Amino acid sequence: MMTGPANGNGYGDVLEHVIGILQEITADWDVGEISTESRLATLNLESINLVYFIAELQQKYALQQQLFTRIRAADRPIADLRVGDVVDFVLEMRGARDQRPAEPSS
């Protein structure tokens, strides 16, 4: 497992770490680019991968079971969450929710 202190609390730092974990898990799979809009379901993660993913985030950001509890409270399957949703939950649990970067307009 990836361990170490949480160096950054900002959206970009957490996003980078979340994507890094997902890239590590899916390294041998053809899932394409992982971004804030990627749904966990499109990454073809199995239950054990999701458990590892959540455990890594809880350990890195010292969240104990708070992240898992928050995801369950979202009242939708974890696979339906976007990467950006997970980042938002981590920041919410840490009480350090930075302003999320604006989405580009089309």
Indicate whether 27 belongs to any domain.
Answer: yes
Q: How many domains does the chain have?
A: 1
Indicate whether 103 belongs to any domain.
Answer: no
Indicate whether 101 belongs to any domain.
Answer: no
The pLDDT assigned to 34 comes to 96
pLDDT tens for 64-88 read 888 988 888 888 888 899 999 999 9
SS3 of 85, please?
Answer: helix
Tokens 């900002």 belong to residue: 10
Indicate whether 47 belongs to any domain.
Answer: yes
Indicate whether 45 belongs to any domain.
Answer: yes
Q: How far is it, in rounded angstroms, from Cα 42 to Cα 61?
A: 25
Indicate whether 4 belongs to any domain.
Answer: no
Q: How far is it, in rounded angstroms, from Cα 26 to Cα 34?
A: 10
pLDDT tens for 25-38 read 999 999 999 999 99
Domain range enclosing 23: 11-94
Q: How far is it, in rounded angstroms, from Cα 51 to Cα 42?
A: 16
What CATH code is carried by the domain that includes residue 77?
1.10.1200
Q: Which two tokens mark 89?
A: 């939950």
Report the predicted TM-score, pTM, of the whole model to 2 decimal places.
Answer: 0.79
Burial category of 21 from C-beta neighbours within 10 Å (exposed 0-12, middle 13-18, buried 19 and up): buried
Indicate whether 105 belongs to any domain.
Answer: no
Nearest CA to 9 out of 95, 103, 102, 101 is that of 95
Q: Which two tokens mark 24?
A: 């590590």
